[in-house]
A and B are shown apart, each in its own frame.
Chain A
Amino acid sequence: MRISTNTIYQTGINKISALQSEQYKLQQQVSSGKRILTPADDPVGAARALTISQAQSINSQYADNRAMASFNLNSIESTLTSVTDLMVSAKSTLVGAGNAVLSSEEKNYIATQLSNDLQELIGLANSKDGNGNYLFGGFKNTTQPYTATTTGATYNGDNGQMDMQVSDTRRMSTTENGPDVFQAEGNDVFATLSNIVDLLSNPATTSAALNTALASANTSLDKGLDNVLTVRASTGSKLKEIDALDNNGDDRNLQYKAELSDIQDLDYAQALSDITKQKTILEAAQQSYVQLSGLTLFKYI
């Protein structure tokens, strides 16, 4: 076939420029460490990478949520530990108050002690979390949940329970309402203590009436204690669940990272070997171009 001089030059140049652009792309891949430079390089991979990085970002957000949830639950747990101790001590005080030989003065002391316990209990019910929000006020977490009254304490909060999204499928309540802790099933611990304090500090109280009241107060505190322990158990199991979810979340994060790396990251060994190969081809093309274009009959005439 007859070949025009233009074709000889043009073909050589086209080949060399194609090789150079491949070289350029490899160079870009190596310097960025990425296999996919634009979506066109791997459309399916590019779209999957977006989906996975969203999943990864949501996963790490859930880890943040869990840290927050765990902080809240730990605040509740430590407050309820103090509540338990307080109620146990109030109970033993109550048992002492049943002694028939107590003088009215001694009864007054006990009344004072129980009254202090009541104030302390109200104080614990008004505990705040690390953000300065009340723990037991429901959604009204900036209003003090309990105010002391002559018959115990009144609840100023609401029935709201704050949930947190701790995994893609699990929503966990991370607050407790005061009434669920201190006044469950109609058993108001504040009222019980207040009533006993009133009876003990009133000299007119008959011992029969006092004994009946002490017996029912004892039952009430037992029920209250049971309830607090139930709440603590549920808080504890939530904390345990968060631990399990944390492990699961960490596993997922590793998995997402591995998948993203599979899709996006460059196989350096392959890329570097490709660059060397391309370089050899380019050099050969350049040399043959120079030699071919040097071949001309005009040199000899």
Chain B
Amino acid sequence: MRIVALFIALAILEATYFLALTSLLMLGTLSIVHFMIFSAIGFMFFAITYVIYKLLKLQILMVKAGIRLSSEKIAIRNAVRKPRKRYLIFQVLAENAPSKNDVEKVFNKVFNEFFGIVGGGEANPKLVLYDEKSMRGVLRFVHTQRSKVLFALAMVSEVTDGKIGFIPFKIAGTLRKAKEIVKTLALD
């Protein structure tokens, strides 16, 4: 918009220049030869202005297209990112220690309720390890879907009316490391 405004302003300036030249010719203060020379210079300037305006417009269009292409590239790269595994170490808080089946059932129910089949396919959550005594476990999921898994864990206590609560401790990159953390971590 600014370039268009600049071009219009320059065009008006050049039109005024031509008007002044014509009026000087009609008044007789300017000879025909001089008039021709000055009007040729005026035309030249107008042509240069027009070419620059077109070039600038083209460049702006190219930059915009470039930005769109790069953002699309980033979006595609995010969509086809190689799914990597992450292991979340959590602690279950409940009055009676729930079994592995119960924990899996509750988590799957909550996750399906909030994110459905598509979300489940993206995150692919699975209870890998659960110790009933210490009520600690390890949950595997895809690294890009961390927030979904954490949100589902937070919603467990809402869905079960505060009977069961999940507290996430840490996220590890390998199962071996996760097992080590499970041994060392404790709530008290």
Please determine whether chains A and B interact with each other in the same assembly: no
Name B's A-contacting residues (CB within 8 A).
none
Name A's B-contacting residues (CB within 8 A).
none
